[in-house]
């Protein structure tokens, strides 16, 4: 049986030397592996099974959800809107004020790598329930709530609320002395999406529920435990060096 490589003519292969050709082929094989999750098993956690459905279209519950979204939006201050737009970036640096000067990912490569892997792993768990329920966002139901750019995804559950909850949960484990302040930042990231009418309150609450379920899966993952231990040791060493230098 011919190999898959044999099905390509030489004219279709890159003009590379033997060493470069081997590297190119290895990258082609490895690329699908890089797309795989590092910490979360496929379909875990199952947001569709875990979460209650969002309020039904046209229901009194949906009307109440929209009324609260309107109230929060119309009562926002310029400072709240500015903070909400900043928090929408989901940058890890949003947690720096809560953690303190020891949280400098440029000096914590293992910690930075851990957080990047967590960030990459979350997308599938976020997309599955969103694409299942296909809930519209507040500004899609009431155009008067539209500010900024429209979102490309569905609304339920809130991806920002999920990410804020997970990022905060991981960082609270890494920096336990600042736990409450860190968790508060995660909650604010989710709620700020209501302030700028990108989400309903129920979207945010559901995001927190799914975020906590994801965090439990992460903490049970051997690969996460390994990387977390290295990050924890790195943080401890950095803090010790800083204390000695005082």
Delineate the domains of the chain, giving CATH numbers in brackets.
77-245 (1.20.144.10)
Confidence tier at 245 by pLDDT (50, 70, 90) = low
- Report, in angstroms and rounded to the nearest whole number, the Rg of the chain calculated over CA atoms: 22
Supply 38's token pair. 């590092």
Tell me: pLDDT of 33 over 50: no
Confidence (pTM):
0.84
Q: What is the pLDDT of residues 51-97, one digit of tens each?
A: 999 999 999 999 999 999 999 999 999 999 999 999 999 999 999 99
Q: Which residues of 123-143 are buried (b: 16+ CB within 10 A; e: fewer)?
A: eebbebbbeebebebbbebee
**Per-residue pLDDT averaged across 28-42, rounded?**
64
Residues 90 and 80: their CA atoms lie apart, in Å, by: 16
Tell me: pLDDT of 241 over 60: yes
């Amino acid at each position: 049986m011919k190999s898959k490589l044999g099905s390509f003519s030489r004219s279709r292969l890159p003009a590379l030397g033997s060493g470069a050709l081997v590297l190119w082929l290895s990258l082609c094989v490895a690329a699908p592996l890089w797309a795989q999750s590092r910490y979360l098993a496929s379909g875990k956690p199952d947001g569709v099974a875990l979460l209650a459905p969002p309020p039904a279209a046209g229901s009194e519950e949906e009307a109440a959800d929209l009324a609260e979204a309107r109230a929060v939006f119309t009562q926002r201050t310029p400072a709240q809107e500015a903070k909400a737009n900043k928090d929408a970036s989901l940058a890890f640096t949003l947690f720096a004020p809560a953690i303190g000067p020891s949280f400098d990912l440029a000096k914590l490569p293992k910690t930075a790598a851990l957080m990047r892997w967590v960030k990459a792993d979350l997308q599938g768990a976020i997309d599955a329930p969103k694409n299942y329920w296909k809930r519209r966002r507040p500004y899609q139901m009431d155009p008067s709530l539209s500010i900024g750019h429209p979102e490309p995804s569905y609304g339920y559950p809130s991806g920002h609320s999920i990410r804020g909850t997970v990022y905060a949960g991981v960082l609270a484990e890494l920096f336990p002395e600042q736990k409450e302040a860190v968790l508060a930042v995660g909650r604010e990231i989710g709620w700020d999406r209501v302030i700028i009418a990108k989400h309903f309150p129920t979207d945010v609450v559901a995001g927190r529920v799914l975020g906590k379920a994801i965090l439990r899966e992460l903490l049970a993952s051997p690969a996460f435990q390994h990387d977390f231990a290295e990050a924890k040791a790195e943080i401890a060493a950095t803090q010790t060096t800083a204390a000695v230098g005082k």
